[in-house]
Amino acid sequence: MKNNHYKVDIEIYVVFIVVIGISIFNAIYSSLNITKNQEVNNKIMTVDIPSLQAMETMNLLVTRSEMYSTNWAYILSNKEDKEKLKSLQDAEYPELRKKIEKLLPAWKDRESVENMNTIFKDFDKILEDQKQIMKILATFDDYQDPMKKFSADEIVESQIIPKSTEIISRLNNMVNRKKEQTEMLHFEMRSSYRSLMWSVLGIAIMVVVVILLAAFYLSNNIIVPLMKLKNYILQMGKGEIPEIAVSMKRNAVGLMTEAVRKLAESLKKTASFAHNIGEGNFKVEFQPLGSNDELGNALIQMRESLSMADSENKQRHWMASGLEQLNSALRENTDDLEKLSDEIINSLVKFLNVHNGAMYVVEKDHMNEKPYIQLCGSYAMDENQSARKKIEMGEGLIGQALKNKETIYLKDVPLGYLSINSGLGKASASHILIIPLSHRGEIYGVIELASFRKFQDEEIKFIEGIGETMGSTIAASKTNTLTKKLLDETRKQAERLAAQDEELRQTNDELSHQSSLLQASEEELKQSNTELKDKAKLVEEQNERLGQTRDALSIKVKELELNSKFKSEFLANMSHELRTPLNSVLILAKLLSDNKNKTFTEKEIEYARVIHKSGNDLLLLINDVLDLSKIEAGKLELMLERESVKGIKDDLYSLFSEVANQKKIEFSLELHSNIPNEIITDKVRLEQILKNLLSNAFKFTSANGTVTLKIKRPDKSIQYNNPAIFRNNELIEFAVTDSGIGIPREKQQLIFEAFQQVDGSTSRKYGGTGLGLSISRMLVALLGGEMHLVSEEGKGSTFSIFLPVRSVQTEIDEPELSVIDSVVSNTGQEPAENDPEGNLLATAEVADDRETLTTEDKIVLIVEDDLNFAKVLVDFAHEKNYKAVVATHGDEGLLLADRVNPSAIILDMQLPVIDGWSVLKKIQENPKLMNIPVHVMSAMDRRELGLEMGATTYLRKPLDKRDLDKTFSDIEKSIDADVKKVLIVENDLLQFEILRNLIVSKERNTKIFSAGSQEEVFKIINSESINCIILNLDFGSKHYNGFEILEQLKSNDKSSLLPVIVYTGEEINEEEEKQVKKFTNSVVQKNDESLNRILDETRLFLHRLNDEKEAVVRNQLPGKMNELLNGKSVLLVDDDMRNIYALTSALEGQGMNVIAACDGMDALAKIEKHKGLSIILMDIMMPEMDGYTAIQEIRKMDGYKSIPIIAQTAKAMKGDREKCIQSGASDYISKPINIEQLLSLMRVWLYKE
Amino acid sequence: MFFIFISNAFYSGRKTALVLSLTILLMSMKPVGDAGNEYTIKAMFIYNFTKHIEWNQPPSPSFRIGIVGNSDIQGALELIATQKKVGNLPIEVIKITSDDNSLFQVIFVSKSQVQKLEELAKKYAGKSVLIISEEAKHSEQGATINLITTDNKVRFELNQTAGKVAGLKISSTLANLAMTVNP
């Protein structure tokens, strides 16, 4: 049994060990894996990413150092950059280098470490070079020394730029490599996590399968047989003996089954044995199972006892039957003793099967009471024989028997003693038996029996018991007690069987305990599963951290973008700087080429033209740069209009056909028939793009080559970079093909980038800035299209642009566009030219006052296609006492304007037939109409453009009542405004006309007077109240002397305060300038811009006049306010002399003492010199020291911590105000300065003081 | 098309060999000592002028600097020619003989040949040739630039009128650096 138990244990143990083993393997495998990944991740976090960041910072630093040092060499007054360069060298770089060197040991890539060290070494060299420059160009004078300047230029060009470029490219390579490596590590880590997850999952499944198999096996091989066994044993307990098959299983349960089967078999044998005994078959063989087989031995003993009892029973039965025979004999013959005796002896003889018998009955003699014996019965007794009839007590054997009350048995009686005879023979009886019959100690008789055979004992006893009925009962009771004892034995055997049953139940319990153990191990597996889940969570967390790292990287990218934005800003500033000197170049060149004095030879005129042309080209370049920066800054606005494709084609042809002729290039324009006649686009921009592409094509194509422009529908096969844009749009393609030098494949991407050309030296041969293509590409993108390039080196190039037939500007709402579309397509041409005027004007779609106009009426013309809004405007006009005329079409508006001569025009932009833009343009072009103020009310957000085109105000729909009120009050003002009078002193009639038109077009309500001589000037001044004088100070004039006029004007009471604008076509030297400036606020040199300048100045003075009038009215009320400025000292800091003079005269008019300074440094010096300043006006944009710095410096000085400083700047940028206040300014005012505003601002600050 | 020709100092992609080196330039910071040193500096000046001047000549395979008369500058320029280019053109230094009618971008007239200045200026007028002389006031005779030595330092005068007559476009940078600038 012990061995068998062991076997069951092993099976269960094996299952457990396998499961536990798998779990342990799993745990070790996953923890190793996770540890490894953690290490990798740590490396990424602590080494790779910081290194990457540091390298990118380094890259930025090199770029900046390159920029700063370049600026150092080329731009004299860029203090900020110089400071930045110093701090970069002294602080930023050493710090960054330390940081990178700390990281270097952790780099595994030796090559990178060496690379980095080389980069450091090289950058150190660059720094040395930079320091060299800083040393060479230290002071202002150094910039003037050609030797130093050339040296510095040389260092920049030959050392710093190439070296920096190389370092940057090396750094970029390293950064890319590093990024790749990091990406690879990330990838490996991710895949390792994934494989870990799968393996863990696989193992878990394996464990479950093993457990299921084990459970199946155990239940099949142990539990099911055990349950069967339990049932058998229960059956056996109930006394049934089940049929049990021989178990083939050699395991513990099999053996157990075998044992139970044997037990049942032996029980069956024992039962059949007991059955036989019950049947009385005592002869049946039965072999006990062993000497200890209690049940078997007890059964054998029982059999023997039963067999003995049975024989006794038989004897008794024999006796009883004999008795019964005797009794029946006795019952029949109760009354006759002899007969009875006979009967008794007869039945006795017959019963005993003897041969001769006699019965003697004891008789009592009544006399002497002496008993005797009397023969009463006989059987086969011979009468002759000596048998006595009466025998005395003690007489013979019989008497003796009676006397002794004893049975006498005589054996081997001699022959002849008694013969038994029959008819045929006789023989002697050999055995004689004499028996007394007694009852309760009394003898009743004697019986003598003779036989040839021996008498059996029981026969003797039977005979002895005839009279004694009690004997048989005693023998029966003795058998009864014996049976009871046997029953006890059987019960004991049953109890032993019950004990065995209990044992089996225990085994059963043990098995169920083991099954619960299995359940526990299953529980354990579940736990290890949850552990695995925890680990998966850990993995997730790490992923999250990776995401954070990625975020950090994207922030870095944004910083880089910001950096490039700074670059664009820098470019924009530079372009402005360049424009200023260029202006004079252009104007002078133009003047020269005009050859007014006829002093130049043909050649010199040609030179002047060349200068002018070159200047123009440079201007174009600067415009390019500006365009580029505008586009990059996202500030370029498109003017989308319906344009004829043929018109574009014709424009281009007229532009380039001459070039083609000159260069002997075949130039063809192909307009395919399947394209729309008109497209919606910005014509100017589209032509800019095409001009650029065409001029490139001509530039790079040599004589006898071809240049083709094809306008067509694009092939369906074209692959667009951004298919989304083109999916739903109808497209048009403009393809410019040339047979020029072509572009190598590797450079094809490069040429689209700003400042890039195929070869850096291309500019030497072919010219160009390399900006055109990048601007073109950006413009194409802005128009919603794409530019493609197909080129082969040496064979030519094709630049194709793909544009939507309807370009869309994001600001413009879709429905507005569609309105224009439908209307335009319906009417087609401008009906204004075809329709008779009357027709148009007769039909008023809105009830207006066109029938009831009189010349005294104030009339407003409303050009609006929204009838409801037009009605609102009419009502509003009526409310304000205006008569209103409504036009719903642009052309109708123009006609009505011409007809009714309104006081003001309210104009919508989106109009049928002719749009508002064109109406506005035509109004401005028409001298009769251009004085009418135009108030634009439109949903389009194009305020700047509207004002630029001449609108008086520009309001965006939707409008509220306040807007309308304001508009009408503006109209009121424009009607009521005083007529301003401007005197122009000019001999040249043409020049006068130009000036007059210019001023009248911009300043309504202006009357222009003309004077050609000194006398005329003063005649007019005396007769008219002139507001402003414009004087041409040409020394060559024969009719007047400008200086004299000026002097006379100043000395004349009436005109001494008149603003005079002096303009001159000749260069005046410093001496002369000083002289002029004594008399006037404004000197304008003639050039292209000069007309606008004159206009600006004039407007300034005219408006100031108005404002000052108002100010006078206002100032009359609080007299104290007026005196606030009187006698105070003001420091005026401005680098623009015009401003200084304008402001000085204004401030001196207020009784102020004005001290002027031309820049920050000068201002500081003046402050030192002049104590008792009350207020400072500070310009921000100045050379040497700018306003911000100056304010900061002033605030550092003792006693100037709280002096009011009002900053003024031309840049009305958002952050400017904050920047001014931050640097210490008390307040801020933006240019152009409104004098009254400035004065009240100053009063506020001085009042505070 | 019109060629816009600007010394693109900011964005030049040129990666020329490392120069004639800084040492010479730094030497030039010292006062002019012997004649050799002086001509090294003058050569360097001439090279630097090319960056700020635009020639309106038909394309040529090399940038030609002609020298009139014997001068140490020839060696100095030849040294520069081995290491530098003007744009992408190699520099060629040629001694001009009187019968040489070929076109040059720059002509250097040595002190000894000053008398030929006027004739040269006439000969090359309008042909976009930069004529450089060595003494002050010779610009009146047609030289666009005069390299002069004052206070042991090399400086230069710029005659813009002469430049215009010669057919040259001269940048304002050069005008700013010049000692005197004739309009």
Summarised one tens digit per residue, pLDDT across range A93-105 is 899 889 888 888 8
Residues 6+ apart with CB under 8 A from A62: A123, A126, A164, A167, A168, A171
Contacts of B11 in chain A (CB under 8 A): 755
Least confident of A49-63, A496-510, A573-587: A573-587
Omega before A927 cis (within 30°)?
no
Contacts of A149 in chain B (CB under 8 A): 177
Residue A478 in this model has a pLDDT that exceeds 60: no
Highest average pLDDT, of A205-209, A236-240, A1026-1030, B149-153, comes from A205-209
Spatial contact of A379 and A345, defined as CB atoms under 8 Å apart: yes
Q: CA–CA separation, A687 vs A669, rounded Å?
A: 14
Write out pLDDT tens, residues A1201-1217.
Answer: 888 899 887 654 556 67
Banded pLDDT at A368 (limits 50, 70, 90): low
For residue A45, the model assigns a pLDDT of 86
Residue A1004 in this model has a pLDDT that exceeds 90: no
Q: Is A767 close to B4, i.e. CB distance below 8 A?
A: yes
Least confident of A842-851, B58-67, B144-153: A842-851
Banded pLDDT at B106 (limits 50, 70, 90): very high
Q: CA–CA separation, A1134 vs A1150, rounded Å?
A: 19
Classify residue A309 by burial, with Cβ atoms within 10 Å: 0-12, 13-18, 19+: middle
Closest CA of chain A from B101, distance in Å? 22
Average pLDDT rounded to a whole number, residues A1047-1058: 74
For residue A1131, the model assigns a pLDDT of 92
For residue A486, the model assigns a pLDDT of 66
Contacts of B8 in chain A (CB under 8 A): 763
Q: CA–CA separation, A114 vs A120, rounded Å?
A: 10
Q: CA–CA separation, A1092 vs A1095, rounded Å?
A: 5
Nearest CA in chain B to A764: B87
Q: CA–CA separation, A164 vs A157, rounded Å?
A: 11
The residues in B 70-99 lying below 8 A from A, measured between CB atoms, are: 87-89
Of A74, A146, A699, the CB nearest to B1: A699
Closest CA of chain B from A149, distance in Å? 8
Residue A813 in this model has a pLDDT that exceeds 70: no
Q: Is B88 close to A759, i.e. CB distance below 8 A?
A: yes
Q: Is A136 close to B29, i.e. CB distance below 8 A?
A: yes
Of B87, B126, B154, the CB nearest to A764: B87
Q: Is B9 close to A144, i.e. CB distance below 8 A?
A: no
Tell how many helices (H) and how many strands (E) occur in chain B: 6, 10
Q: Is B28 close to A151, i.e. CB distance below 8 A?
A: yes
Residue B29 in this model has a pLDDT that exceeds 50: no
Contacts of A604 in chain B (CB under 8 A): 164
Going along chain B from its start, the domains and CATH numbers come out as 36-182 (3.40.50.2300)
Contacts of A571 in chain B (CB under 8 A): none
CA distances from A756 to A569, A748, A809, A1201 (A): 19, 11, 29, 51
> Mean pLDDT score of chain B, rounded to an integer?
76
Q: Which of A71, A142, A150, A153 would you mutate first to test chain B, the one with the most B CBs within 10 A?
A: A150
Q: Is B6 close to A159, i.e. CB distance below 8 A?
A: no
Banded pLDDT at A1246 (limits 50, 70, 90): confident
The better pLDDT of the pair A1179, A1052 is held by A1179
Q: Is A604 close to B164, i.e. CB distance below 8 A?
A: yes
CA distances from A465 to A355, A628, A879, A1249 (A): 21, 158, 169, 170
Residues 6+ apart with CB under 8 A from A800: A714, A733, A734, A735, A736, A787, A788, A789, A790
Q: Is A161 close to B2, i.e. CB distance below 8 A?
A: no
Q: Which of A125, A763, A771 would you mutate first to test chain B, the one with the most B CBs within 10 A?
A: A763
Q: What percent of chain A has a predicted confidence (pLDDT) above 70?
A: 80
B13 at the A interface (CB within 8 A)? yes
B10 at the A interface (CB within 8 A)? yes
For residue B6, the model assigns a pLDDT of 31
Q: Is A146 close to B59, i.e. CB distance below 8 A?
A: no
The residues in B 28-67 lying below 8 A from A, measured between CB atoms, are: 28-29, 41, 44-45, 48, 51, 56, 59
Closest CA of chain B from A162, distance in Å? 6
Structure tokens given for A406? 């004893």
Average pLDDT rounded to a whole number, residues A977-994: 75
CA distances from A120 to A132, A322, A642, A666, A711 (A): 18, 148, 59, 55, 55
Banded pLDDT at B65 (limits 50, 70, 90): very high
For residue B91, the model assigns a pLDDT of 92
Q: Is B25 close to A154, i.e. CB distance below 8 A?
A: yes
Spatial contact of A883 and A936, defined as CB atoms under 8 Å apart: no
Size of interface A-B (CB pairs under 8 A): 113
Write out pLDDT tens, residues A298-337.
Answer: 888 888 888 888 888 887 787 778 777 766 666 565 555 6
Closest CA of chain B from A909, distance in Å? 40
Of B13, B18, B25, the CB nearest to A760: B13
Contacts of B167 in chain A (CB under 8 A): 607
Nearest-CA neighbor of B95 among B108, B112, B86? Answer: B108
Write out pLDDT tens, residues A1095-1131.
Answer: 777 777 776 555 544 444 444 434 455 677 888 899 9
Closest CA of chain B from A917, distance in Å? 34
The better pLDDT of the pair A1112, A769 is held by A769
Q: Is A767 close to B2, i.e. CB distance below 8 A?
A: yes
For residue B64, the model assigns a pLDDT of 92
CA distances from A1028 to A394, A1100, A1102 (A): 210, 10, 7
Nearest-CA neighbor of B158 among B8, B52, B56, B67? Answer: B52
Nearest CA in chain B to A602: B165
Q: Is B4 close to A603, i.e. CB distance below 8 A?
A: no
Closest CA of chain B from A654, distance in Å? 15
For residue B90, the model assigns a pLDDT of 92
Q: Is A154 close to B4, i.e. CB distance below 8 A?
A: no
Closest CA of chain B from A1084, distance in Å? 22
Residue A833 in this model has a pLDDT that exceeds 50: no
CA angle centred on A506, ends A505 and A511, rounded to 5°? 95
Average pLDDT rounded to a whole number, residues B140-164: 82
- Bridging pattern class, strands A980-985 and B89-95: unpaired
B27 at the A interface (CB within 8 A)? no
Q: Which residue has the tokens 């003007």?
A: B86
Q: Could you give the residue ranges of the DSSP H alpha helices within A1197-1234?
A: 1216-1223
Ramachandran class of A706: left when φ > 0, alpha when ψ lies in -120 to 50, beta otherwise = beta
Contacts of A621 in chain B (CB under 8 A): 4, 6
Average pLDDT rounded to a whole number, residues A788-807: 85
Which three-class secondary structure string do you get for A936-949?
EEECCCCHHHHHHC
Least confident of A261-265, A479-483, A520-524, A599-603: A479-483
Closest CA of chain A from B116, distance in Å? 24
Nearest CA in chain B to A619: B4
Nearest CA in chain B to A661: B1
Residue B34 in this model has a pLDDT that exceeds 60: no
Nearest-CA neighbor of A72 among A15, A8, A141, A152? Answer: A152
The residues in B 107-166 lying below 8 A from A, measured between CB atoms, are: 126, 153-156, 164-165
Rounded to 10 degrees, the C-alpha dihedral A1100/A1105/A1109/A1114 comes to 20
| A796 phi/psi in degrees, rounded to 5 | 120, 175
The better pLDDT of the pair A128, A489 is held by A128
Write out pLDDT tens, residues A730-741.
Answer: 888 999 998 888
> Mean pLDDT score of chain A, rounded to an integer?
77
Q: CA–CA separation, A701 vs A720, rounded Å?
A: 28
Spatial contact of A1127 and A1152, defined as CB atoms under 8 Å apart: yes
Of A146, A603, A698, the CB nearest to B177: A146
Contacts of B48 in chain A (CB under 8 A): 146, 150, 153-154
